Amino acid sequence: MWTQSVLSSNVSEIGYEPETKELYVTWTRGKRSIYSGVPEELARDVANAPSVGSILNAEVKPYYGHRYG
């Protein structure tokens, strides 16, 4: 698993587990969202995006299953 701190008003860290293809989003308020089936390339795009929230809303949330963890 890799993790990366990000500069965002709502997200503090992005993590990714290649074996399970799970994207971990740690929100600044402490909750953690886990998105299933996310390709690693997209996870890296999210982690390096100028606007993490924008890419999450456009490319992740509408297409991948979500749970809190």
Q: Which residues of the chain have pLDDT under 50?
A: none
Structure confidence at residue 46 (pLDDT): 98
| Cα–Cα distance, 67 to 4 (Å, whole number) | 20
**Longest distance between any two alpha carbons in the chain, whole Å:** 29
- Tell me the two tokens of residue 52: 């993490």
Structure confidence at residue 27 (pLDDT): 98
> Under the phi-then-psi rule, with left for phi > 0, alpha for psi from -120 to 50, and beta for the rest, what region is 30?
left
- Tell me the two tokens of residue 2: 């890799």
Structure confidence at residue 39 (pLDDT): 98
